[in-house]
């Protein structure tokens, strides 16, 4: 079974530029998550989708970050304009159900490492 796919793996941009990340979850997984992992910290949830609807985006900086999952499968996360403090690894995860419990394990992709100069 294929895992969660993410691209690109690495991205370097100048501040105030825009960037987009792509995620393809495990086939059949209804729930998709985007996390931000700053160096030396644990992952922090940015947004959670159930199919193509948003479940939780309370920690998404909506003035510069946006995400969509139009067909309920793959997803894109965009930052526009980027700031220095956005340098982090952006992780995508998916789960079959509502996530987190013993029957709804979250599976993580390899992440995209963003460096903002």
Task: Give the binding site for other proteins (CB under 8 A).
Answer: 3-4, 31, 40-45, 48, 50, 55-56, 91, 93, 98-102, 104-106, 108-111
The CB-of-112 to other proteins minimum distance in angstroms stands at 11
Q: Which is nearer to other proteins, 36 or 82 (CB)?
A: 36
Task: Give the integer Cα–Cα distance in Å for 9 and 3.
Answer: 15
> Which of residues 56 and 85 has its CB atom nearest to other proteins in the complex?
56
In the complex, minimum distance from the CB of residue 77 to other proteins, in angstroms, rounded to a whole number? 15
Q: Taking a C-beta distance cutoff of 8 angstroms, is the pair 6, 108 a contact? A: no
Q: How far is the CB of 107 from other proteins (least distance, A)?
A: 8
CB 111, min distance to other proteins, A: 6
In contact, 18 and 72? CB cutoff 8 Å: no
Q: Which of residues 87 and 106 has its CB atom nearest to other proteins in the complex?
A: 106
Tokens standing for residue 31: 């729930």
What are the distances in angstroms from CA 80 to CA 16, 32, 72?
7, 21, 23
Structure token pair of residue 48 = 């959670």
Cβ closer to other proteins: 45 or 73? 45
Cβ distance 105 to 93 under 8 Å?
Answer: no
């Amino acid at each position: 079974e294929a895992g969660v796919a993410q691209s690109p793996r690495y991205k370097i941009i100048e501040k105030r530029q825009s960037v987009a990340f792509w995620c393809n979850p495990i086939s059949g997984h209804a729930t998709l998550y985007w996390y931000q992992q700053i160096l030396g910290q644990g992952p922090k949830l940015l947004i959670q989708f159930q199919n193509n609807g948003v479940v939780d985006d309370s920690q998404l900086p909506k003035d510069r970050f946006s995400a969509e999952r139009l067909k309920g499968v793959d997803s894109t996360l965009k930052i526009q304009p980027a700031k220095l403090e956005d340098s982090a690894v952006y992780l995508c995860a998916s789960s079959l159900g509502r996530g987190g419990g013993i029957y709804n394990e979250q599976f993580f992709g390899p992440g995209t490492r963003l460096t903002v100069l």
